[in-house]
């Protein structure tokens, strides 16, 4: 589907005015929070760039696009669930919880939700789940960009304190360097203990990383 505003245009014609696109980033990571974003675009508007799945956009462009989205959107929000919440309620429920936090913000007032994926939580707000929605809906794609930029920045900041896991490059995903760090240094408070981390070792800082 080439028209990334197809779903929004249908809903705008039906009278909806605060359509929120929702997406999350970081479900498959071993560490860090799961981050969700919600974006409401002005009815009839379009973003001044080819909006698409954030993973298909270069880092520099993502960061530039994120600032444009914040300026152009009627409303936007970024929310997260911690590794501890993920371990407590599981990653699917934590992802949904983070998205619901976006929709529940006091000034959001969405009248319809477009949700990336095939599962969502309980809400009185009309909604539609769209598989691979970040490639089919401009609102969802915009949310995916905000969520990824925000989460990547978190992981790069954590890398400065915990430089042994490759978070600056892998942002928490399961890579050889990440597992090597886990094997050598153990599990930190930022790791998801309910995930398969391949070690029982608990992290203790080998040096003062300042």
User: Positive or negative, the Cα torsion across 69, 70, 75, 79?
Assistant: positive
pLDDT of the residue at 120:
95
Q: What is the DSSP string of 6-29?
A: HHHHHHHHTT---EEEEEEE-TT-
Nearest CA-CA partner of 2 in 116, 136, 117: 136
CA distance 186 to 32: 15
Is the pLDDT confidence value at 2 over 90? no
pLDDT of the residue at 109:
97
Q: What share of the chain is helix, strand, coil (3-state, %, to 5)?
A: 40, 15, 45
pLDDT of the residue at 50:
85
pLDDT of the residue at 173:
98
Query: Is the pLDDT higher at 22 or at 3?
Result: 22
**Residue 95: which pLDDT band, with cuts at 50, 70 and 90?**
very high
Please state, rounded to an integer, the average pLDDT across all residues of the chain: 94
CA distance 205 to 108: 42
Nearest CA-CA partner of 4 in 57, 36, 41: 41
Which domains are delineated in the chain? 6-154 (3.30.420.10)
pLDDT of the residue at 201:
94
CA distance 140 to 8: 10
Given its phi and psi angles, is residue 26 left (phi above 0), alpha (psi -120 to 50 degrees) or beta?
A: left
């Amino acid at each position: 589907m080439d028209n990334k505003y197809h779903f929004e245009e249908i809903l705008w014609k039906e009278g909806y005015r605060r359509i929120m696109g929702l997406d999350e980033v970081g479900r498959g990571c071993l560490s860090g929070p799961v981050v969700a974003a919600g974006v409401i675009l002005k009815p009839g508007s379009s973003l001044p760039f080819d909006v698409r799945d954030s993973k298909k956009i270069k880092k520099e462009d993502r960061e530039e696009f994120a600032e444009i989205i914040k300026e152009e959107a009627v409303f936007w929000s970024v929310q997260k669930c911690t590794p501890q919440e993920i371990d407590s309620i599981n990653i699917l429920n934590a992802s949904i919880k983070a998205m619901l936090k976006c929709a529940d913000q006091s000034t959001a007032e969405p009248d319809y939700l477009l949700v990336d994926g095939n599962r969502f939580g309980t809400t009185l707000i009309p909604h539609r789940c769209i598989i691979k929605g970040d490639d089919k809906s401009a609102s969802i794609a915009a949310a995916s960009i905000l969520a990824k930029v925000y989460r990547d920045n978190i992981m790069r900041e954590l890398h400065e304190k915990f430089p042994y896991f490759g978070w600056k490059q892998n942002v928490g995903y399961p890579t050889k360097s990440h597992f090597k760090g886990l094997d050598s240094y153990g599990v930190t408070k930022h790791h998801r203990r309910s995930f398969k981390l391949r070690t029982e070792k608990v992290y203790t800082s080998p040096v003062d990383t300042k």
